[in-house]
Amino acid sequence: MVENFTVGNDRVLDLALAKYDVEGSKAHIAMLCSIGLLTPDEFNALDAGLDRIAQSIGQDTFRLEDDVEDIHSQVELLLTRELGDLGKKIHSGRSRNDQVLVDIKLFLRSQLTLIREEVLGLFSTLQGLSDKYREVLLPGYTHLQIAMPSSFGLWFGAYAEALVDDMHCLGAAYRIVNRNPLGSAAGYGNSFPLDREMTTSLLGFDSPVYNSVAAQMQRGRTERAVASALGGIALTLNKFASDCCLYMCPNFGFIRFPDNLTTGSSIMPHKKNPDVWEMVRGKCNRIIAAENEISMLCSNMPHGYHRDYQLLKDILFPVLEMMHGCLSMTDYMLQHIIVNTEILDSDIYTHMFTVEEVNRRTLSGVPFREAYRQVGIEAGEGRFRYHTNGLKASDLGHTHIGSIGNLCNDRIASLMQSAADFISPGCKTPGK
């Protein structure tokens, strides 16, 4: 009863760490051999045994046995069955505390690398749509009231540039993740002459977490940093999904999607519901909440390991899966978006050009406040008119950087590439 309560869902979640536990163990035994705690023959036997375990993981035949508590115990058990007492030497100089930390960091590093590629893919899709529809005007809103001319180019491009900020946050989380805790043992180091620089190099980390207590304090801090970065991306996707739900509404009719990407009603045959976008929005809200949940879990513990930390996997691992799904589905939906290029045919959007007319009169010499007063009266009395037939974004004379006539997509692309360079070309990542 006690064991079931304390282990919880950990055995299932631990399977995600299997390949990384083997990778960390291979680096650890290489280091043990270098300092004389293993002979070359012992190292070779253990290394070959770990390779066989890695092969079973790759073939999806690896399992945690019913009476084995965690992934670390299972790997050691398999080695001991095959190699006898030699298998027990693999744990020399480390604790399960630093072992699980290095597993999680290797796992998270791999996850962040994958999310980086997914964000870059979505960014490219958004920029492509921004360029394709740069001339198509779209009403801009403030307070959900028709405000000023925008464009599909500006709208798509805005979310592309928002992802640049999100990529910077992802890079910050990656730098926290990519530091080596191995060798900190239970948090207070070890009397063996461990070569932590060697394992740092072998595992492709940027540096060790030097202070052994600080290394253990990264449990929770690392997960929170990752959750914060995911929350930034989720906030961007959440807002975009909300826009899509609004713009798909027939009262707006700015965008639509093929019937197979929407959901019908069980009673109203005309309806095309934005279920995908609503699910993206809802799941992103859950992702955003993860950082606070992790903070609350870790906020009242003194330094050192506590069993509470086990629950971090319950929070973060499902959130990572949701993040992959939301990024993938957003990109997929955008590849099938249908843009309404005739929005301005409706007279209800005439007033979004009042600022254009005020500016035109101001440029002709009328004081701004007087031009504002004149146009306001005309609009209030229903006399305001603006020629919109065939009007394109470039016709409005918006030329400053970041306006509908000067999207700066090439500059934004350069910013994204710089933000995404937190993974250097020579960086070793699991599975690469």
| Token pair listed for 260 | 């197979």
| Token pair listed for 306 | 């506590």
pLDDT at 71 > cutoff 50 = yes
| 119 domain-assigned | yes
The count of other CB atoms within 10 Å of the CB of residue 258 is 11
Collapse the DSSP code of 179 into the 3-class scheme (helix H, G, I; strand E, B; otherwise coil) and give the result.
strand
Report pLDDT digits (tens) over 332-387. 999 999 999 999 988 889 999 999 999 999 999 999 999 999 999 999 999 999 98
Report pLDDT digits (tens) over 80-139. 999 999 999 999 999 989 999 999 999 999 999 999 999 999 999 999 999 999 999 999
How far, CA to CA in Å, does 320 sit from each of 85, 174, 231? Answer: 38, 14, 11
Residue type for position 248: M
Looking at the structure, tell me whether residues 8 and 135 fall in a common domain: no
Distance CA 425, CA 432 (A): 11
Collapse the DSSP code of 406 into the 3-class scheme (helix H, G, I; strand E, B; otherwise coil) and give the result.
strand
How far, CA to CA in Å, does 421 sit from each of 113, 171, 174, 260, 426? Answer: 11, 8, 11, 37, 11
Looking at the structure, tell me whether residues 326 and 364 fall in a common domain: no
The residue range of the domain holding 42 is 2-91
Looking at the structure, tell me whether residues 178 and 320 fall in a common domain: yes
Q: Element (H or E) spanning 149, and its range?
A: strand 145-151
Distance CA 80, CA 359 (A): 80
| 56 domain-assigned | yes
Band of pLDDT at residue 59, cut at 50, 70 and 90:
very high
Looking at the structure, tell me whether residues 134 and 232 fall in a common domain: yes
Looking at the structure, tell me whether residues 143 and 248 fall in a common domain: yes
Q: Element (H or E) spanning 139, and its range?
A: strand 137-142
Band of pLDDT at residue 7, cut at 50, 70 and 90:
low
Band of pLDDT at residue 427, cut at 50, 70 and 90:
very low
Query: What is the dihedral sign for C-alpha 162, 168, 172, 174?
Result: positive
| 44 domain-assigned | yes
| 202 domain-assigned | no
Distance CA 143, CA 197 (A): 56
More confident residue, 313 or 429: 313
- Structural domain count of the chain: 3
Evaluate whether 220 touches 297 at the Cβ level (below 8 Å). Answer: yes
Looking at the structure, tell me whether residues 335 and 364 fall in a common domain: no
Band of pLDDT at residue 272, cut at 50, 70 and 90:
confident
The residues with which 339 forms a beta bridge, in sequence order, are 255
Looking at the structure, tell me whether residues 227 and 373 fall in a common domain: no
Which pLDDT belongs to residue 91?
Answer: 92
Which pLDDT belongs to residue 424?
Answer: 58
